[in-house]
Chains A and B, each alone.
Chain A
Amino acid sequence: MSVEMVSSLLTPGERVHGKVPVEHLDYDYIQNCSDLRYLEKIVEVLRSGEEGVYPHLTEFCEKRIEKLNPKSRALRKERPPATAADFSFDEWSQISEELKSWETEVKRTEAELREVSPLYDVEDLPPVRGSNSLISQKQNSVPSRTETKRKSALPRDYREWDKFDIEKECSKTDGSNKGKDFPVIINQCLPKINRKLDTAGLTEKERAVLASREREKGNEAFKANDYDEAVAYYTRSVSAMPTAAAYNNRAQAEIKLQLWHGALGDCERALELEPGNVKALLRRATVQKQLGNLKVAADDLGNVLREEPENASAKKMIQEVEKKLRECAQESQSKGRKILIEEVEDEELRAKPGLCVSGESAAAPAERGDMGNAQKKTAGRAEGAPQGEADTHGTRRRGKRGSLDQCRTQEAHEKKLPNGAQASGSGTADQTGRHNSSADNTAASGTGSRLDAPCGALPPPLARLKNEGNQLFKNGQFGDALEKYSQAIAGCIDAGIDSPEDLSILYSNRAACYLKDGNSADCIQDCTRALELQPFTLKPLLRRAMAYESLERYHKAYVDYKTVLQIDVGVQAAHDSIHRITKLLIEQDGPDWREKLPDIPLVPLSAQQHRHEEPRSAELAEARAARAAEGAAKRAEARFSALKEEGNNFVKKGQFQKALEKYSECLALKPGECAIYTNRALCYLKLERFAEARQDCDSALQFEPSNKKAYYRRAMAYKGLENYLACSSDLQEVLRLDPNVQEAEQELQEVTVLLRQTLVASSPDKPRKNITIRETNDSDDEADPSNSKTRQASADDSAERASLPLRPTNAYEFGQVLNAAHSRDDVNACAELLRRVKPETLPLFLSNKLDGETFHFITRALDGHLLQEDPGLVYQHLCHLPAADRFSVVLMLLGQNERQQITHLFDHLSAVESEEFTGNDVRDLAAKYI
């Protein structure tokens, strides 16, 4: 029986009442008790000293509690504030130093602050909150808005209509809904966060402060796993002041959101600001790894490890990347897609066209397949069947050249052919060249008996060394491989073997080992030797380029890569690197970086021609024929795009009239092109031909109902035409399609102000504002296919949205719209409003705001506009109107004209025949009014 059970049996009452019996103040009992609450009580008793002071027992009990729950409240002790004694001397002096330096620094900033004239930019601030509104402290009750000043109320901001929560407003307005619960509200602020900060007029320092504060917010959001929000705040930080830290952090958040391309861009920007930033490199490597650019990732990781050799995550990642790279290497090898430089070549001499000079054209296909295997796998496939034959051809030819060893190699291959792992297929790749070597090696690793395979002109011991080296290299034992190669080279030189090809390969292979070991200098040396022996060989060149690049000798690396490309344009790694180095060089040397380059050697034709030759296959011929057939269509297309291009160029130069003509020609050729319409609309806008601009936008929207450019430009056209209402609804549409369009948001604000001015002050002579129009850019002339889907989806509900602003949901909004219409004397708008309002809710909406003028206004709308269309609705409205507050008072105070109007209304109503009401009904109703 456990102690606890005993204790609960013995003293149940006491435990309930919270008293601790003395016998429980005992080491054994405490040791065995696992009831945390009870132990806490014991410790309380012990501390209080009621039963005597037992410091050891107290401590023992505390330890026991800590063991059970280290966070127990009973363990919290009152502590005095920390003093210097709690810190090491260094820590303490650091703390006081920091504080002192902060004091002086903040004094300086404060002095600076004083010098800045207090530019208090009132313009920037939003207006004072509309009215002294009373907010009831009772939930779900009808908010009684007693406005202290009853001036003409401003209409609700049009943007606010858009973000209107109907449910919520309903539950506030409708008295019947009192018991209704609030809907779930998730405070997703994302679409509403302004992505850009207005930093106009701020000093550098203030911007920096702002940027770091926004970054902090981003960090906090990141920690709370709100990655979207974090990105938003980092974006704000960057807009205040671009910093590497903000870009870096945004990259990390984007990685979390798997927005790889955004993250890549951010890493690059961070690196632009702070070259060699380890975090940025690491993150770029992560992204590149995800995007499948393993090589680039490995490069970045290499750079990281050079900076911080102990960086654990980099180490881990580079292992993964290299593993993947190896897998890829094997894969691409078998497919013959890419030259991977890590791979060690066996029979490199085969790749040297200069060696096969015999000129038998019969052997050409096989040769070519061999040489061009980097990009010509289709050719290889097509020739699958006759492969063996072609091979033997080649062998025979080589045999003629008198190289017995080579012949033997070839024979070995042929022997292997029937049972070879790769050769058995459709002959994906030819059996010569590199594939050969890989086949060789796989076989070698399979049997382990091929180490003695003869290599080139090397005597067997040296060949063995080389093969061993290859084997080791494949296994990743670069150091050992290096040794083997070195032995082979030494042996070669000692023996005085005059075989530059073989020696070159050995050097090249050793260079690969050096490169792997990060010994770039020796790698370069070996490559150079290899190239001296065999000029314009691909692999040593590539390796040397990589070594140069890693030593940051970009000029030389650039030259080598360029040379590589002269030999074989299909080497993707070289393309990538050239691209990367060009950027770096531009950064380093400025725009005339090319002048500082050493000469790029011209590769002799003999070395490159094979690379460029196209395989003549039936497929290609067919393709050509098809292409010819397409020619005519293409030409029209070309003419079209040429015209478009010209148009775009004119726009860029600001010659809108000319651009306009070009675009019109474009449309004559191809009338269904949305982008042209939007571009022409831009020209019209620039030329202030707003009506035409609008038409073009309309057509564009026909083709592409959710083209935000078209909406934006139509909004601008409307603005030019001073149709602000339409303008604002178009702008809202733009923002709905893409909430990040800053221009639209700014325009919307501007237009809303204009709209309000026209509505309230009704001053038609307002000076026109400048219209800012974005420039065209060719890139988005074509609709982005990835976006089009979402656009399509969102387009569907756009129709309903547009009508929202006129559909009020409570008395306040109804009043706003009605007032707006009234101040413009826009009977039509009033009729529209009444059409949208349910007659039953009319009294509720009118609440106590009904007065003579409003009444007259409503009757005019009913009579003048609604009666013809929907007499039933008019009747319904008239039925419900008497229920409104103040109706009788208003009726009493009506003037002669108003009464006449009502009489007319009822006359007209009774003249209408309808199923919804009879003449008698109308007469009864009229009695209430007249």
Chain B
Amino acid sequence: MKMSTPSEKPQIISHIHKSLNYTVFDSKWIPCSAKFVCMGNFARGTGVMQIYEVERGEVHLVKEIEKAKPIKCGTFGATSLQQRHIATGDFDGNLHIWNLEVPDVPVYSVKAHKEIVNCIDGVGGLGIGDGAPEIVTGSRDGTVKVWDPRQKDLPVANMEPVEGEARRDCWTVAFGHAFNDQDRCVCAGYDNGDIKLFDLRNMSLRWEKNIKNGVCCVEFDRKDISMNKLVATSLEGNFHVFDMRTQHPTKGFASVSEKAHKSTVWQVRHLPQNRDVFMTTGGAGNLHLWKYEYPAQRSRKDAEDVDMGVAGTLNLLQNITLSTQPIASLDWSPDKQGLCVCSAFDQAVRVLIVTKLNRV
């Protein structure tokens, strides 16, 4: 099977384009629906959440919710399928959980950080990831905190620089390794290029690595399996894929890197239905669709007979240019393979269809 024949390649279709009257930071599908939430910032300095529904080639606004502070990020990762509450982080450092049916008062609210919450991720909900539902937030104040919606006011884990150490801006967080009730990891990326992997079971820092440029986004290929791969994207257009199965004592995890976009790689999102396919979004408004190919042997012995990982290769399946502005968020529909929503800084949100993903 040759991938080069154009008809066999996945195609990215810009299905719906919707201009908005605010700056949109994040967009997320509401699980088990044809609706998505856009989160952002009105020009007047307030926060906004809009719910749109996809219907026959168009989107129509279902609900608009205005909040006091601009909303930077949101996740459905820690909610049950019945409730479908969204957890958001805002410019003021608050973590809120909203019931989108009754959005006046948050279900859960905590002043999580001293400064803006840059990033958020959830696990243990929607049947993804064993164990308790937990939310992790990362902030400009340099801390990464894990929250359990059942515990008020206090995080259940706090990853903070030691006193005297420089506080780096945390740009991205991701859960992973949640394949049973006990194991769970948080990966965080910082503006100085640090990637840190925290083991929540042992409450320890398990691995760290500097990729030289600010880490814009990290994501595990799947949250609910023994950690398999991690993608980290960076400010100057490179991204790295780490094979997380074998950790060498000194060399850490094996990785392959690829320069994809000529500008910042803002986001990486793995296809929920196939962990080896992922999309990266670029600062010049482009999207790249990749597939990771495993090597024949995923680990080998080094000179001292210690196991070390072997990285695979990356295959560019498709790339398109969508906008002139950075695409800041992208979210695959968990329910419909190939459907995704992305928001760009040209104040627009787009619904895309990627075809032939089941054949890659």
Contacts and interface: CB of A to CB of B under 8 A. Distances in A.
Interface string A125-162: 11111111111111101010100100000000001100
A125 B134 CA distance: 11
Contacts of B162: 136-138, 141
A192 B249 contact: no
A189 B225 contact: yes
A37 interface: no
B165 A120 contact: no
B320 A81 contact: yes
Interface in B155-187: 155-162, 165, 177, 179-183
A735 to B, nearest CB: 13
Contacts of A139: 205, 207-208
A209 B247 contact: no
A128 B148 contact: yes
Contacts of B204: 135, 143, 168, 172
Nearest to A96: B57
Contacts of A220: 222, 274-276
A82 B11 contact: yes
B301 to A, nearest CB: 10
Interface in B48-82: 54-57, 80-82
Contact of A129 (B4, B83, B200): B200
A137 B71 CA distance: 27
B14 interface: yes
Contact of B157 (A132, A138, A165, A210): A132
B156 A132 contact: yes
Interface stretch (B36-44, B110-118, B125-133): B125-133
Contacts of A206: 81, 127
B259 A135 contact: no
A217 interface: yes
Contacts of B159: 134-135, 137
Interface in A520-541: none
A189 B179 contact: yes
B117 to A, nearest CB: 18
Interface residues of A, number: 79
B76 to A, nearest CB: 14
A217 B179 CA distance: 11
B82 A133 contact: no
Contacts of A188: 226
Interface string B19-45: 000000000000011100000000000
Contacts of B244: 187
Interface string B309-351: 0000001100111100000000000011001000000000000
Contact of B161 (A86, A137, A168, A221): A137
Nearest to A212: B273
A457 B37 CA distance: 91
Nearest to B221: A220
Interface in A688-706: none
A118 B82 contact: yes
Given A143-B204, A184-B307, A128 B54 contact: no
Given A135-B198, A182-B247, A192-B183, A210 B127 contact: yes
Contacts of B246: 184-187
B13 A81 contact: yes
B286 interface: yes
Interface stretch (A100-108, A253-261, A293-301, A498-506): A100-108
Given A82-B12, A187-B244, A220-B274, A133 B157 contact: yes
Interface string A344-366: 00000000000000000000000
Contacts of B276: 220, 223-224
B132 A127 contact: yes
Given A133-B157, A186-B245, A76 B316 contact: yes
Nearest to B30: A110
Secondary structure of the B contact surface, majority rule:
loop
Contacts of B157: 129, 132-135
B123 to A, nearest CB: 12
B80 A133 contact: no
B249 A181 contact: yes
Contacts of B275: 220
Given A81-B352, A137-B162, A106 B154 contact: no
A767 interface: no
A119 interface: yes
Interface in B220-259: 222, 224-228, 244-250, 259
Interface in A869-915: none
A320 B158 CA distance: 62
B219 to A, nearest CB: 15
Contacts of B54: 103
A193 interface: yes
Contacts of B298: 224-225
A113 B158 contact: no
Contacts of A184: 246-249, 306-308
A96 B274 CA distance: 22
A95 B337 CA distance: 12
Contact of B34 (A103, A134, A138): A103
A187 B56 contact: no
Given A81-B322, A132-B155, A132-B158, A193 B179 contact: yes
Interface string A51-79: 00000000000000000001101001011
A670 B67 CA distance: 80
Contacts of B316: 71, 76
B192 to A, nearest CB: 12
A524 to B, nearest CB: 44
A169 B202 CA distance: 9
Contacts of A96: 57
B146 interface: yes
Contacts of A213: 127-128
Interface string A23-51: 00000000000000000000000000000
Interface in B184-215: 196, 198, 200, 202-208
Interface in A169-192: 169, 172, 181-189, 192
Contacts of B83: 118, 120
A634 B148 CA distance: 66
A80 interface: yes
A163 B181 CA distance: 13
A109 interface: yes
Nearest to A217: B225
B336 A106 contact: yes
Contacts of A141: 162
A182 B308 CA distance: 13
B323 to A, nearest CB: 10
B320 A79 contact: yes
B311 to A, nearest CB: 13
B204 to A, nearest CB: 6
B35 to A, nearest CB: 8
Contact of A187 (B182, B226, B339): B226
A185 B247 contact: yes
B33 A110 contact: yes
A111 to B, nearest CB: 10
A135 B203 contact: yes
Nearest to B200: A129
A488 B179 CA distance: 71
A2 interface: no
A145 B202 CA distance: 12
Contacts of B319: 76, 78-79
Contacts of A135: 157-160, 198, 203-205
18 contacts: A78-B320, A95-B13, A102-B339, A118-B80, A128-B148, A130-B156, A132-B154, A134-B157, A134-B158, A137-B165, A139-B205, A163-B182, A172-B202, A182-B207, A185-B247, A186-B246, A193-B179, A206-B81
The 7 closest A-B pairs by CB, nearest first: A189-B226, A129-B156, A81-B14, A82-B11, A181-B249, A118-B82, A185-B247
Given A103-B54, A213-B128, 14 more contacts: A78-B321, A79-B319, A102-B339, A103-B34, A106-B33, A110-B33, A119-B82, A132-B158, A133-B158, A185-B246, A193-B180, A193-B226, A194-B130, A206-B127
